[in-house]
Amino acid sequence: MHTAAFFPLAEESQLPPVDFMKRHLGNIVSQDKIKAGLQAMLARAKDGFRAACRSTKSTPELVDAYTFKAQGDPMIIIYDKSGAAIARHHYTGPAVMLFFDEGGHLIHIDFVGVCDSLGRNRQAPSADYVGEHSRLHVQTGRWKFRDGCGKRVAEVSDREWDSEKQPHWRPSPKWLDAFSGGKTFVLHAYQPRVIEGPRFDHMWSMAAAPELYQLAFDRGAADEWMNAMLVLVGSAQLQGLKWDAEELLRYAVLYGMAMTRVGQHLPAPAYR
């Protein structure tokens, strides 16, 4: 019994990040392997990656990278490198999307409001059209805003767009209240899937906690392992192991925020 559980863990713990990603991208990995990988990766994260091995490259040379768009009713559409839509994920109500690029960096956080087809009932839990949309660029701290209510042409993607507000604008705490208890999605450029993130309240508390900037960790190693953490969480959710991967997902979001100092750019919501 102990031998069967031990050897996959030992094997997973010795893989460098590039090989770890290659194992879980484009392959169906057994649940035992995924659980062993979760244990090994969680041990690295809890140790601040100080004992993690380094590789010569921070990202694997993979053929496929993906882009994302939430549009219309709303739904998140995943596109391959040729621009073909390969998957769709429907949802309702306000949602927050965390975009990680091919380097594993948290590049922006999108707060996607909703409305009905006529632009009314803004931020209602049952509303099913993309409405008001705010974006935080995590490295610059700049916010953007655009209002898609009633236009039926709203687009929420990893592409850039022009803001309808002045450069120093920030969303109001009252507007952010609508996201309390709501959904978050992690969108990772190396994965053709939508990762269900932690609840907004949990994500926000991590971003606002003073401890976020007191974390002791190997920044270089954590940067290398970010892609691997996200890929493993996606692989686990694909295999129905969402709750097994919950703690590692929190660490992935936590390190993504810590490395880009997200909290200093967030206005305090009224419910806190």
pLDDT in tens, 209-235: 777 777 788 888 888 888 889 999 998
The structure's pTM equals 0.82
Site of tokens 């709303």 = 74
pLDDT in tens, 148-191: 887 766 667 777 888 889 888 989 888 888 888 888 999 998 88
DSSP string, 66-134: -EEEEETTTEEEEE-TTS-EEEEEE--S-EEEEEE-TTS-EEEEEEEEEE-TTS-STT-TT--EEEEEE
Can you tell me the distance from the alpha carbon of 146 to that of 155, in angstroms, rounded to the nearest whole number?
A: 10
Distances (CA, A) of 90 to 16, 87, 135, 269: 35, 10, 20, 27
Angle (deg, nearest 10), helices 200-208 and 246-260:
40
pLDDT per residue of the chain (272 residues) written in tens, 0 to 9: 333 333 334 455 566 777 777 777 766 778 888 888 898 889 888 888 876 665 545 455 555 667 776 666 667 888 888 888 888 888 878 889 999 988 888 888 999 888 887 888 888 877 778 888 899 888 888 899 988 887 766 667 777 888 889 888 989 888 888 888 888 999 998 888 899 998 888 887 777 777 777 778 888 888 888 888 999 999 899 889 999 999 999 888 888 888 876 656 666 554 44
Angle (deg, nearest 10), helices 31-46 and 219-238:
150
Can you tell me the distance from the alpha carbon of 158 to that of 271, in angstroms, rounded to the nearest whole number?
A: 29
* Residue 57 burial by Cβ neighbours in a 10 Å radius (0-12, 13-18, 19+): exposed
Q: In Å, how far from its chain's centre is CA 16?
A: 22
Find residue 134's DSSP bridge partners.
111, 145
Q: What number of other Cβ atoms are within 10 A of residue 251's Cβ?
A: 18
Q: Could you tell me how many helices (H) and strands (E) the chain has, helices first? A: 7, 10
